[in-house]
């Protein structure tokens, strides 16, 4: 049974930091692309960034320089370090797992097969 369980969400003031974790089980974690997504009320789910099986990362422009994705394949855990948070970062954050396509990972929602339940991040001004 595949499970992705996010943790670490919460409420912070603008400029603050949070670290999200995503514990994975039930699939070969080390071979999968892992992505972080977020969804704010009334908006579509959007990709934040992804990390390949060998640790190569890619980020959307709106989080570049502020967010860092990492993974520990031995622990089957994905991380999202979020710094310099702004109110616009307020959303439910999801981790997701998907097989590489053509050896690459993508931000597109449809390229991910397994999803966590989400964790809420609220940034106040």
pLDDT tens digits, residue range 30-73?
A: 999 999 999 999 999 999 999 999 999 999 999 999 999 999 99
Residue 27 has pLDDT above 90, yes or no: yes
Band the pLDDT of 107: cuts 50, 70, 90.
Answer: confident
- What DSSP element (H or E) covers 74? none
Residue 56 CA to residue 62 CA, distance in Å, equals 18
The answer to whether 93 and 121 have CB atoms below 8 angstroms apart is: yes
CA distances from 111 to 6, 66, 96, 119 (A): 19, 24, 9, 21
């Amino acid at each position: 049974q595949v499970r992705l369980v996010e943790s670490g969400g919460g409420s912070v003031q603008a400029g603050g930091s949070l670290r999200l974790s995503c514990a994975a089980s039930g699939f070969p974690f080390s071979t999968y692309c892992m992505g972080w997504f977020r969804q704010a009320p009334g908006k579509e789910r959007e990709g934040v960034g992804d990390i390949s099986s060998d640790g190569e990362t890619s980020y959307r422009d709106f989080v570049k320089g502020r967010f860092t994705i990492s993974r520990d394949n031995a622990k089957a855990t994905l991380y999202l370090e979020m710094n310099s948070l702004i109110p616009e970062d307020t959303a439910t954050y999801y981790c997701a797992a998907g097989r590489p396509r053509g050896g690459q990972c993508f931000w597109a929602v449809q390229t991910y097969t397994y999803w966590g339940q989400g964790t809420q991040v609220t940034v106040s001004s």
